Amino acid sequence: MIKRTLFFGNPAYLSTKNEQLVVNYPDDDKDERTTPIEDLGYIVLEDPQITITTSLLRKLIDNKTAVITCNSQHLPTGLLQPLQGHSEQTVRYRHQLDASVPLKKNLWKQTVIAKIDNQANHLLRRGKNALRLKRYVGEVGNSIHDNEEALAAAYYFQRLFDDLENFSRNQKGIPPNNLLNYGYAILRAVAARALVSSGLLPSLGIFHHNKYNAFTLADDVMEPYRPFVDMVVYDIVISGVEIEELTKDLKSQLLMIPAMDVVMDGKNSPLMNAMSRTTNSLWECYEGSSRKILYPKFQKTVM
């Protein structure tokens, strides 16, 4: 089942009744609006004047709905998730904590290869040269540089947005960095939600290990998914719409990322479902029943 994403960008009062999320707007004389809580996967709370009841929060947590809060720049910065995400959580934590260094190196190598290959295929879909990225795919973990991910990212963004003057990928850079930042923040929430549901610690990464980052594992597993965000942003850019300001319409397009189709094992799947398969396959690697982490494959051509 594809879970819904709700965005609240205006003052609102959110409560619950009969297992429904109930929405009332102070400046709206219409009847209250309701949505079944079981249908919700993500809720984005942007406006600072939103009021939400603790009863609703409890039901959202029980449903494993990710509640995302935003900062004054309208970017997602907080994520509310359940403390208990899986019935075998303690056992799974132990396997994750005991993962060997060789295993983690192997998992990170698979992750980087999947990411660069997806970046290359995105460039190919856009009719751009990707030979260097394809070469990097074969060199991951085997070359004298061992920094193919960074080299690939620099090359990829230079080629992807080569029509935009002075563009470089930087969180505080010129548009469409604002769109990329927002899309990646949504993707990060999708990854964190899936990890918790799989009984894993989002703060214990495979590669990322910043002590100030509570979602290092989410940052790891989302890497091969980034080109799918890039695809949405690229389509927005070439449509010719104004992108200087992150408008409500632009946000609504980016909030469709969890439900967008990706290809995994040759079959279409909503991105949020594919992420759950990725995190479950990661658990199987920690547990020892598998050595392969599953990632979606970006298609060179539209299927």
Annotated binding site for Mn(2+): 148, 208, 223
Rounded distance between C-alpha atoms, residue 39 and residue 56, angstroms: 14
CA atoms within 13 A on the CB side of 107: 27
Q: How far, in Å, are 7, 161, 168, 177, 260 from residue 165 at the CA level?
A: 32, 9, 9, 13, 29
Do residues 284 and 292 touch, judged by C-beta distance below 8 A? no
Do residues 66 and 41 touch, judged by C-beta distance below 8 A? yes
Do residues 208 and 292 touch, judged by C-beta distance below 8 A? no
Nearest by Cα to 236 from 267, 212, 257, 261:
257
Binding site residue list: 148, 208, 223
Q: Tokens 């799974």 correspond to what residue?
A: 92
Q: Tell how far CA 71 is from the center of its chain.
A: 18
Q: Tokens 């398969």 correspond to what residue?
A: 277
Rounded distance between C-alpha atoms, residue 188 and residue 170, angstroms: 17
Q: From the DSSP assignment, how many helices (H) and strands (E) are in the chain?
A: 10, 10
